[in-house]
Structure 1
Amino acid sequence: MKRIAVYCGASDGINPIYVEAAKHLGRWLVKNDCDLVYGGGQFGLMGTIAREVLKNGGKVYGILPKELASRGAALDTITDLKIVDNMSIRKRMMFDMSDAFIALPGGPGTLEEISEVYSWSIIGDNDRPCVLYNVNHYYDPLKAMYDQMSQQSFLTNQARQKLLFSSSLTEIGDFMQNYVPPKVRTYPQPEPKNDAM
């Protein structure tokens, strides 16, 4: 893996452990020769991980919608910053550029982005791993929700196993290196009509 997309908040959160986790992940990316692909912002955990990767000699690729750039959100010291028309383009570019996807703690946007790329894996449009970096048990309620989906047969058990919740970067690294995409969902086909008279 050469480039990993990291979705995360434009806020630091209330607990300093989230900032430390973003720095730790940034150093881990550089140590494993992985470039960072992220949302291009300078604030919150987004800015923290980007600066940490740069500080340790890594490369950072950011994609930022112009409406956020116009409000001063951009971190313009990164390796490459692309300003795009809207969030849909940003998400698609991040997807196309990346070999894996990790979510640090964040808000609705972070949840939307990791959920989208994971859902694409179920229908066969994403063959790359998705991980929620479960710092300070932040994603425990979401993990329980996905388990509930599987228990109630709205998500297959084998597809559920393809979404990792973990606070261990060692476990995350192993999961990504050994990842096999879920089997693509198939649907029962109707019986062919017999038009013979």
Structure 2
Amino acid sequence: MNTNICKDYELQAGKYIDSFIRTINSYRTGKASPDLLNGIKIMYNNKLTSIRQLATISLESTKSVIITAFDNSLNPIINKSIIAANLGLVPYLETNLIRILFPDLSETYRYSLVKLVHNEAEKVRVTIRNTRRMFNNKLKDLFKKKLLSKDNMEAFQIKIQTITDCLIKKVNNIALSKEAEMLSL
């Protein structure tokens, strides 16, 4: 169990980073992104179903996405779901597909998105630090129960701190690259 502590910590903290990436990728940046439609679900056969399960979503250009439903009768339902999702997108229903054009964003809106990214990044950093504290407490408990020597406990704490530093640096880099992407549009 002792040798897996660092791996468990890294896996758990890595999940927070994955969630952070999914969250900031869902922000509308003015550049077309199929990821923006991931959370949209429609009622199909009396069951909420993701659009991705009922249609292909592809980039047409940097400013537009095309949705092609596997069953054309779903196009009006998908169209209404996109409008109801309140993402600020306007879908255009065509014969066999739905086209979504992504308008340019105002500078004020882009700066508010950057603030959102910074807030999300800070939440992830705090969560990672809290997870580090929890794992360090586990190490101290193992030491108190005499299942771990003081030298091993300190070695694990150093490894956990090194992993924490790397993960926080990764969060900072992701946030900076997203900020640059948002401001360069």
TM-score under structure 2 normalisation?
Answer: 0.23
Q: Which has the higher helix share?
A: 2
Q: Which has the higher contact order (CA 8 A, sep 6+)?
A: 2
TM-score under structure 1 normalisation?
Answer: 0.22
